[in-house]
């Protein structure tokens, strides 16, 4: 039986989490897994903390990752890497974009942004891979590909071949953006071990 897994995507509404989780899901489907994904629409999307659960395996029942069982978390923002700690375990890998988006209480001077988030995760044994996805996306020449850079970095932790991801980008992304997104995926993939 093929080994399944749980991937949690977290970030701030509007960061492109939807596309990132869709590409990952389609790659797992191409690899022959059953895949379920759960997300929340509506009010939560207005700049709030958002999370998407992705589960793949031989047969997936629950669309929700059980607390303590996320193998990988893809966090698009630092605070949002720590908010869903409940879902992680000591062998989880967290791929985190080092961007900081100030939550309202911080932006209005009522609270401060914690400065030791990644250390907090590391101190629990969690494998933290931090990257500046925006800087990488800027180098590629398209800021909006930061989410696909994140998918590339995360793909190192999956058994699915990178070629499947590149094929999925070809199938699922608008023609004129395919090349730049494939570049973004590759750049993200390369960053982890460079």
Partner 1 sequence: MTLKSKESLWLSGNEAIALGAWEAGVQVASGYPGTPSTEIMENLSKYDGVYTEWAPNEKVGLEVAIGASFAGVRALATMKHVGLNVAADPLFTASYTGGRGGLVVVTADDPEMHSSQNEQDNRNYAFAAKLPMLEPSDPAEAREMLARAFEISERFDTPVLFRTTTRIAHVKGVVEQGDRDATAGASIEKMPGKFVMLPGPARVRRAEIEKRMRSLRELAENLEENRVEEGTRTRGFITAGTSYNYVKEAFPDAAVLKLGMIWPLPEQKIRDFAGTVDELIVVEELDPFLETHIKAMGIPCRGKDLIPAQGELNSFIVRKSIDPDTVGQLFEPLDLPMRPPNMCAGCPHRGLFYGLSRMKDVFVSGDIGCYTLAFLPPLSAMDSCVCMGASITIAHGMAKALGKEGEGKIVAVLGDSTFMHSGITGLVNSVYNNSYSTVIILDNRITAMTGHQHNPASGYTIKGEPANAINFEELCRAVGVKQVVVVNPHDIDATRRVLKEEIARPETSVIISRAPCVLLPEEVRRKKPVYMTNTDNCTGCMACIRLGCPAINWNPITPEEAVARGYKEKQKGYSMITEEQCNGCGQCACLCKFDAIAGKEEN
Spatial neighbors of 35 by CB under 8 A, at least 6 apart, are: 25, 28, 29, 54, 55, 56, 60
- Our finding on whether 173 is near partner 1 (CB under 8 A) is no
Spatial neighbors of 173 by CB under 8 A, at least 6 apart, are: 181
Q: What is the per-residue binding string for partner 1 in 96-135, x denoting contact by CB under 8 A? A: ------xxxxxxxxxxxxx--x--x---x-----------
- Cβ proximity of 33 and 8 under 8 Å: no
- Our finding on whether 29 is near partner 1 (CB under 8 A) is yes
* Residue 3: both structure tokens together: 């080994």
Q: Which is nearer to partner 1, 146 or 186 (CB)?
A: 146
Q: What is the per-residue binding string for partner 1 in 32-61, x denoting contact by CB under 8 A? A: xxxxxxxxxxxxxxxxxx---------xxx
- C-alpha 170/C-alpha 129 separation (Å) is 27
- Our finding on whether 171 is near partner 1 (CB under 8 A) is no
- Our finding on whether 167 is near partner 1 (CB under 8 A) is no
Which has the closest alpha carbon to 170: 158, 180, 159?
A: 180
Q: Which is nearer to partner 1, 22 or 189 (CB)?
A: 22
Query: Which phi and psi angles does 99 have, rounded to 5°?
Result: -65, 145
Binding site for partner 1 (CB under 8 A): 12-13, 25-26, 29-30, 32-49, 59-64, 66-68, 79-80, 82-83, 85-86, 88-89, 102-114, 117, 120, 124
């Amino acid at each position: 039986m093929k080994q399944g897994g749980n991937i949690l995507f977290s970030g701030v509404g509007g960061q492109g989490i939807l596309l990132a989780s869709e590409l990952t899901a389609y790659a797992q489907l191409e690899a022959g897994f059953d895949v379920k994904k759960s997300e929340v629409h509506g009010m939560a999307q207005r700049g709030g903390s958002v999370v998407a659960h992705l589960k793949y395996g031989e047969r997936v029942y629950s669309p929700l990752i059980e607390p303590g069982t996320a193998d990988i978390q893809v966090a698009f923002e630092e605070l949002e890497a720590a908010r869903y700690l409940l879902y992680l375990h000591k062998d989880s890998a967290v791929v985190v974009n080092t961007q900081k988006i100030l939550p309202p209480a911080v932006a209005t001077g009522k609270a401060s942004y914690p400065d030791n988030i990644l250390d907090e995760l590391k101190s629990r044994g969690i494998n933290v891979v931090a990257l500046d996805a925006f800087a990488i996306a800027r180098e590629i020449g398209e800021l909006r590909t930061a989410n696909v850079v994140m998918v590339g970095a995360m793909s190192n932790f999956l058994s699915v071949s990178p070629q499947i991801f590149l094929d999925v980008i070809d199938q699922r992304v608008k023609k004129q953006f395919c090349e730049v997104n494939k570049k973004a995926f590759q750049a993200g993939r390369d960053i982890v071990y460079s």
